Structure 1
Amino acid sequence: MKRFIETLKNIWKIEELREKILLTLGLLLVYRLGSNVVLPGIDPESLTNLQNQADGGIIGILNAFTGGAFANASILALGIMPYISASIVIQLLGMAVPTIQKMQKEGESGRRKINQITRFLTIAITAAQAPGYIANLMSQNVGVTISPSLFWFTSIIVLTAGTVFAMWLGERITDKGVGNGISLLIMVGIIASLPQAFLQEFASKIDRGGGLVLFIVEIAVLLFVILLSVALVQGVRRVPVQYAKRTTGGRTYSGNMARQYIPLKVNAAGVMPIIFAQAIMFIPVTVLSYAGLESGNANWLVSMFSDIQGFWYNFVFAVMIILFTYFYTAIQVNTNQMAEDLKRNGGFIPGIKPGKSTAEFLDTVLSRITLPGSIFLALLAILPAFAMVAGVNTQFAYFYGGTSLLIMVGVVLDTLQQIESYLLNRHYDGLMKSGKLKGRTVSAF
């Protein structure tokens, strides 16, 4: 405890770090306040049906990511998710569109161009999603105090502006604050529901005999799952690299003195496989519902993809996560480019020929470590279903795994790493007893 207090004092002593943390907290507070501002023309007392709808399914997931803004019919109801969708689209286009591929190789100037394209695409996606959200509002008999046509027009404008504002807040945090702003906004939205879910679970267990012991066991299991998630996020396979001759700090090293490592992450895909799989899992139900075929012969399909505690739902979900992990890892990690960079800089993997043989070796190693990583990721994704079956409250069960837990772990580790860097650069002790956090985590998005 004494060391923790001393670390907080050291953080406060660094003026630049102190200002960044305060700015980050202030912008996050603004985002949370905006999540409770209802759209103009809506009677807040008529939102009961919408809030009940957000208890499960894809609506529940969206509501969790927006910190309850979706169910509150807030001006930030669509949150930052359109920006995430736009970023995913740009990443996928980078595989097939030569122009975007060229921008990705142009360094900082290319990054600025891609960011600008992503912003415009975010506006387009938000403008397309806003009418769907408003139609859902109207179907839930939400009370509207102004004319429907005016409500539709103003709501589309306000929802689009709200997403642009959330995107701006995230970029300000990234540029001027601490951590990845977009990921922090999502994490804050997820954590916002944790206290209520915790209290509900505690109250439900206390009301029955032996409930306190069971609740303590649940918390212990949750902490264990968090430790496993940290291990998944931080896990790397270090591939040794040696340079024939390398100059560092004015000194020339050769042979074993110049040995370094390529850190291949066990889970290079992050949470994206879960997001992709979840999106596809909801497509059949959505399509059949809009087509009016949710009954009759298609009823079994709707039932299977709607029961998040069912065997077949979780089996298909896990298989899709494993497949998408390989797919997204192939997008994120370009072994051919890594081999070319090594060859250009005079580096080689001991026992492996430079060039094509190196690329094949890296690809083989990556495939081997991705298999256990993808299986582990799939197990984490379906853990909430096991928690629900075991009697854990639905809202609290979502924190036992899946996208929510991985985002929180990844964002917290990334933010702590930045704070750690500031402390060590100013010759203070780090956050950890060893003085260094292992590795550098990749932001959630």
Structure 2
Amino acid sequence: MATQSNPLASLGKLTELKQRLLFVVGALFVFRLGTFIPLPGVDPVRMADLIGRSGGLLDMFNMFSGGALERMSVFALGVIPYISASIIVQMFAAVIPSWQALRKEGESGRRKLTTYTRAGTVALGLFQSFGVATMLQQQGGVVIAPGPSFILSTVVGLTAGTLFLMWLGEQVTERGVGNGISLLIFAGIVAGLPAAVVHTLGMAQTGEMPVLRVLIVFAIVLAVTAFVVFMESGQRRITVNYARRQGGAGKAYMNQSSHLPLKINMSGVIPPIFASSLLMFPATAASWFNNANEIHWLQVLTSSLSPGEPLHMMLYGLLIVIFTYFYTMLTFNSQETADNLKRSGALIPGLRPGRATADYIEGVLTRLTGVAAVYLVAVCLIPDILRNAWHVPFYFGGTSLLIVVVVVMDFTAQIQAHLVSHQYESLLKKANLRGR
């Protein structure tokens, strides 16, 4: 009796997949190594103290860069300029007619949009690195020798580091497994996870936090992770029928039924990133001014928008809802989808092709986006609730949790696709040998 073969058992024979996985590991090693290469002219002790005091947006950037900002390394900006440029290009491609035409040109149009994204990355990298250099010079003692030479070296070093990470991410996408930029962000977030877990366990050991509370926190983390996996995998499948087609010699093919899959969360992690950036910018900018404590209204605004405050939580949830609808509207065009269905001879049962189909898809998408907005708000506010209620040093939550789960799911799907393609290639080779 023949036994069924396990796809993972043939992993040792997958030379190409092993090479791709080794390339990913090597690229992540290079990324982590670069986060410890410091820029010249910065006092590392005072820089770490500045990040600890500022919090806010700098804390989020430091998390995404894997601690590179705290150490002021050449990778301090991380891939944030590239992500911002990509989002801007996507928005322009959905609004500007000439850029919309580029999206429909296939590979050539995609290359042009990629060129625009790279140029935007350079511009944003220069702008942000200049802002970082100027801000550091205003902090007493952080810069060892302030002056134009420090600004020039910092701008060149940070921009070059961002461009190298952009190139490294593209190489991982092309020669590795999964999306390279997402994997670099994933590596930066996960790099701080062990320290957070050890710190939490240390609090339980010293009695600062009860052991039962620590167990409940870890159980909540697991439950939220499972919930995120469930929601990110969820789809609303709209039934689609293809019209009867007349074949040769008077033969008629029966109607074929398929489905149009619509993800529950089409906006991904963009809404939480945008919302947190907007809310944390005032508090971060206020920390740049030496006389911020003397301005009463600025001090009140900073304290009210601090994470965990009621005003911050309400505005954070509201902005997530707004950006969820806004970004979904930019990335998915119901009328274009309806036109594509009409051109392919497909229709939704009970609906006329064209405008009626587009209105139906728009209604379904609106309801799905509402569910996605509530889901994102719930996941992103759980860390703040735990901080307020139990004073938990909650690191793995909110935006970081969403990014990690989505990247792991995509990475797993890519590996499964390689395994399936290898099985098909083996079957085709066996069929050719038998045919001969």
| Same fold (TM > 0.5) | yes
TM-score normalised by L of structure 2:
0.89
- Counterpart check, 1:17 vs 2:14: no
Paired residues of 1:243 and 1:254 also in contact (CA < 8 A): no
Tell me, in whole angstroms, the C-alpha distance in 2 between the residues paired with 1:77 and 1:384.
25
One-letter amino acid of the structure 1 residue matched with residue 407 of structure 2: V
> Number of residue pairs matched?
414
Judging changes above 3 Å, is the alpha-carbon distance between structure 1 residues 287 and 38 closer, same or farther for their aligned structure 2 residues? closer
Structure 1: runs of 5 or more not aligned: 1-5, 429-445
User: Secondary structure at 1:195's aligned position in 2?
Assistant: helix
**In terms of Rg, which structure is larger?**
2
Q: In the alignment, which residue of structure 2 is the partner of 1:438?
A: none
- Counterpart check, 1:271 vs 2:269: yes
Judging changes above 3 Å, is the alpha-carbon distance between structure 1 residues 188 and 392 closer, same or farther for their aligned structure 2 residues? farther
> 1:189-228 maps to which residues of 2 (within 5 A)?
189-208=188-207, 211-228=210-227
Deviations 1:290-331 (A, max 9, x none): 7877733454333211x2111121011101111111111111
The worse-fitting range, judged by mean Cα deviation, of 8-17 and 345-354 is: 8-17
Paired residues of 1:53 and 1:60 also in contact (CA < 8 A): no
Q: In the alignment, which residue of structure 2 is the partner of 1:414?
A: 410
Q: CA deviation at 1:50?
A: 2.9
Q: In the alignment, which residue of structure 1 is the partner of 2:351?
A: 352
One-letter amino acid of the structure 2 residue matched with residue 12 of structure 1: G
Q: In the alignment, which residue of structure 2 is the partner of 1:35?
A: 35
Q: CA deviation at 1:167?
A: 0.3
Q: In the alignment, which residue of structure 2 is the partner of 1:171?
A: 170
Judging changes above 3 Å, is the alpha-carbon distance between structure 1 residues 57 and 286 closer, same or farther for their aligned structure 2 residues? closer
- Counterpart check, 1:68 vs 2:64: no
Q: In the alignment, which residue of structure 1 is the partner of 2:311?
A: 312
One-letter amino acid of the structure 1 residue matched with residue 403 of structure 2: I
One-letter amino acid of the structure 2 residue matched with residue 398 of structure 1: Y
One-letter amino acid of the structure 1 residue matched with residue 386 of structure 2: A
Q: In the alignment, which residue of structure 1 is the partner of 2:428?
A: none
Q: In the alignment, which residue of structure 2 is the partner of 1:368?
A: 367
What's the Cα RMSD here?
2.4
Q: In the alignment, which residue of structure 1 is the partner of 2:52?
A: 52
Q: CA deviation at 1:94?
A: 1.7
Q: In the alignment, which residue of structure 2 is the partner of 1:423?
A: 419
Q: In the alignment, which residue of structure 2 is the partner of 1:150?
A: 149
Tell me, in whole angstroms, the C-alpha distance in 1 between the residues paired with 2:134 and 2:157.
15
Q: In the alignment, which residue of structure 1 is the partner of 2:95?
A: 96
Q: CA deviation at 1:10?
A: 3.0
Tell me, in whole angstroms, the C-alpha distance in 2 between the residues paired with 1:283 and 1:44.
23
User: Secondary structure at 1:242's aligned position in 2?
Assistant: strand
The worse-fitting range, judged by mean Cα deviation, of 416-425 and 194-203 is: 416-425
Q: CA deviation at 1:388?
A: 0.9
> 1:103-142 maps to which residues of 2 (within 5 A)?
103-142=102-141
- Counterpart check, 1:403 vs 2:403: no
The worse-fitting range, judged by mean Cα deviation, of 41-50 and 321-330 is: 41-50
Q: CA deviation at 1:45?
A: 4.3
Tell me, in whole angstroms, the C-alpha distance in 2 between the residues paired with 1:64 and 1:48.
13
Identity rate, percent: 37
Runs of 4+ with deviation above 6 angstroms? 287-294
TM-score normalised by L of structure 1:
0.87
Q: CA deviation at 1:146?
A: 5.2
Tell me, in whole angstroms, the C-alpha distance in 2 between the residues paired with 1:7 and 1:217.
37
Paired residues of 1:245 and 1:254 also in contact (CA < 8 A): yes
Deviations 1:121-179 (A, max 9, x none): 10010100112112232334455455632222111111110000000000000010000
Q: CA deviation at 1:207?
A: 1.6
Q: CA deviation at 1:210?
A: 8.0
Tell me, in whole angstroms, the C-alpha distance in 2 between the residues paired with 1:136 and 1:284.
15
User: Secondary structure at 1:427's aligned position in 2?
Assistant: helix
Q: In the alignment, which residue of structure 1 is the partner of 2:278?
A: 280
Tell me, in whole angstroms, the C-alpha distance in 1 between the residues paired with 2:179 and 2:387.
32
The worse-fitting range, judged by mean Cα deviation, of 146-155 and 16-25 is: 146-155
Tell me, in whole angstroms, the C-alpha distance in 1 between the residues paired with 2:19 and 2:266.
32
Judging changes above 3 Å, is the alpha-carbon distance between structure 1 residues 68 and 142 closer, same or farther for their aligned structure 2 residues? farther
Paired residues of 1:76 and 1:163 also in contact (CA < 8 A): yes
Tell me, in whole angstroms, the C-alpha distance in 2 between the residues paired with 1:290 and 1:247.
72
Tell me, in whole angstroms, the C-alpha distance in 1 between the residues paired with 2:142 and 2:383.
34
Deviations 1:188-243 (A, max 9, x none): 00000000000000110122288333222211111000011111211110000010
Q: In the alignment, which residue of structure 2 is the partner of 1:380?
A: 379
User: Secondary structure at 1:179's aligned position in 2?
Assistant: coil
Q: CA deviation at 1:403?
A: 1.1
Tell me, in whole angstroms, the C-alpha distance in 2 between the residues paired with 1:412 and 1:153.
38
Paired residues of 2:57 and 2:281 also in contact (CA < 8 A): no
- Counterpart check, 1:323 vs 2:319: no
Deviations 1:395-425 (A, max 9, x none): xx1313x210111011000010010111122
Judging changes above 3 Å, is the alpha-carbon distance between structure 1 residues 247 and 325 closer, same or farther for their aligned structure 2 residues? farther
Structure 2: runs of 5 or more not aligned: 1-5, 425-436
Q: 1:261 aligns with which of 259, 270, 276?
A: 259
Tell me, in whole angstroms, the C-alpha distance in 2 between the residues paired with 1:168 and 1:364.
40
